[in-house]
Structure 1
Amino acid sequence: MATDDANCAVAHGAEQAPPWTRTLVAVFASPVADLLLRYGHDLGYHTVLVEPERGRVTNEEAGTTTVLTHFPALDGDTDIVVTDHHRAELGQLLADALKLPVRWVGVMGNPRHPGPHVAALRELGVDDTEIARVHRPIGLNIGSRTPPEIAIATLAGLIADRNAKPGGFEF
């Protein structure tokens, strides 16, 4: 198939997609984190799980991604997704993430409830301008409820944001 559209050629398998340098960091082991990392790997992300409690990490997670108890050196091609807003370590890990030169930081959670990350960060003395860098809710609003739906909506939102697109059916 001959085409002058590079994206079309990649979609039809006529050309290879360019290599990505993106990193996806899921914070806290959870069913959503498992799927974010699996799908993220398929999307070309280098995947990292940050889980302070190694006992929460499954063998599947440890076999398919880099698993650390703290953030590694990260750059502006990194997206961080916190997958559990109930953990005691939430504030400290977010404060650590905000010190890094990453592209995007978000926390999962129901938008109808106040984000517990705000109080946790304020307790640690994090400035409001830094707290405002934390996205919540995250992902595209597709009514997702299950871990696979949440992971897909989150990754689709990251892709739309990275490409400066609104997501959804607006083109």
Structure 2
Amino acid sequence: MKRPLLEALQAARAAKHPTALVTDLNDGRQTLIATQVAGGEPQGDLPLTAMQRTAVEAAVLADRSGPLGEDANLFVHVYNPPLRLVVVGAVHISQALVPMAQLAGYEVLVVDPRKAWANSERFPAVELVDGWPDEALRGLAPDHRTAVVVLTHDPKLDDPALGVALRSPVFYIGALGSRKTHAGRLNRLRDDGLDDSALARIHGPIGLAIGARSPAEIAIAILAQMTQVLHGATPLVKETPLGSDAAAAQ
């Protein structure tokens, strides 16, 4: 790899921009594409067609390195930033979910303006954001590698966060609460201008239906559902919400 291209790759990774390096295996020519940089113009000496650019973007979205489309002579190496989980609400479920998600490779942030809940004693080794959830989420600029989980069970905190998440490309949105709680939440979000197609992105009540009751069990159900959505997996059994068990366990 030529030095200017290496420096550009290092800079893109430091800035946590999803980036792809395309190499012609025949002659070694390369092109670097940082997909979220303004303009996203390729750098390097390997020209790509519009169809090949589309294939690169698909590879980045799928987080999959390998041959570029049907052209075995071109290899795309995807450099994505870590998956990110934004947890709104420094509650008991969050205390269990945070280390599980970190173990699964997520960069985790906990957002809660209530400092009595969001503190380093309850959440060691995790970044805490004490701003109002909607303002904090806008500042975090959630992308397609971000999951947002709202767990406060307080509309004043959850609803603004959901409004921002639903207007972003995050891959997963989950909200704690019973069916009744979720129905009321959807009505409030409709009043905020969100349509049913947007609201259908919310997994609520949250988590896979595994009979979870304790905070740790609910955290397992949430992380399992995030994993299922991330990889586009089809449920083995018909999924039903956790229902009021999740809300009661908070």
Residues 33-63 of structure 1, C-alpha deviations (whole Å, 9 max, x = no match): 1111111011110001111333321323553
Q: 1:82 aligned to 2:143?
A: no
For 2:128, the equivalent position in structure 1 comes to 67
TM-score between both structures, scaled by the size of structure 2? 0.55
Which residue, out of 92, 95, 109, partners 1:31?
A: 92
| Cα distance between partner residues in 2 of 1:146 and 1:168 | 23
Deviation string, structure 1 residues 127-163 (Cα, Å, up to 9, x no partner): 3322222111222211101000000111111112212
Partner of 2:46: none
Corresponding residue for residue 52 of structure 1: 113
Deviation at 1:100, TM superposition (A): 2.0
How many angstroms apart in 1 are the aligned matches of 2:195 and 2:237? 36
- What is the alpha-carbon distance in structure 2 between the residues aligned to residue 21 and residue 154 of structure 1? 19
Q: Distance in 1 between matches of 2:194 and 2:237?
A: 37
Structure 1 residues 148 and 20, CA gap change in structure 2 (3 angstroms)? farther
**CA–CA separation in structure 2 for the residues paired with 1:38 and 1:104:** 18
Task: State the shift of 1:23 in Å.
Answer: 0.6
Greater strand share, structure number:
2
Structure 2 counterparts to residues 116-155 of structure 1, below 5 A: 116-155=184-223
Per-residue Cα deviation, 1:57-105 (whole angstroms, up to 9, x for no partner): 1323553211112111221011111113334222212111212221111
Query: How many percent identity over aligned positions?
Result: 30
Secondary structure at the counterpart of residue 105 of structure 1: strand
2:104 counterpart of 1:43: yes
Taking the aligned partners of 2:214 and 2:176, their CA distance within structure 1 comes to: 13
AA partner of residue 162 (structure 1): L
Equivalent residue of 1:47, what SS? strand
CA contact (8 A) 1:156 1:167 kept: no
Matching residue of 1:104: 172
Q: Secondary structure at the match of 1:63?
A: coil
> In terms of mean alpha carbon deviation, does 149-158 or 135-144 score higher?
135-144
Partner-residue secondary structure (3-state), 1:93? helix
Aligned residues: 152
CA distance in 1 between counterparts of 2:177 and 2:237 reads 24
**Where in structure 1 are there 5+ consecutive unaligned residues?**
1-18
Question: Given the superposition, is the C-alpha separation of residues 114 and 54 from structure 1 closer, same or farther in structure 2, using an over 3 Å criterion?
Answer: closer
Unpaired segments ≥5 residues, structure 2 = 1-79, 239-250
Q: In terms of Rg, which structure is larger?
A: 2
Distance 1:61 1:47 in 2: 14
Counterpart Cα distance in 2 of 1:138 and 1:28: 14
Provide the C-alpha distance between the structure 2 equivalents of 1:64 and 1:38, rounded to a whole number of angstroms. Answer: 9
Distance 1:167 1:25 in 2: 24
Q: Cα gap change, 1:123/1:59 in structure 2, threshold over 3 Å: closer, same or farther?
A: same
Preserved CA contact (<8 Å) 1:90 1:117: no
User: Does the Cα contact within 8 Å between 1:144 and 1:150 map onto a contact in 2?
Assistant: yes
Higher mean alpha-carbon deviation, 144-153 vs 88-97, is at: 88-97
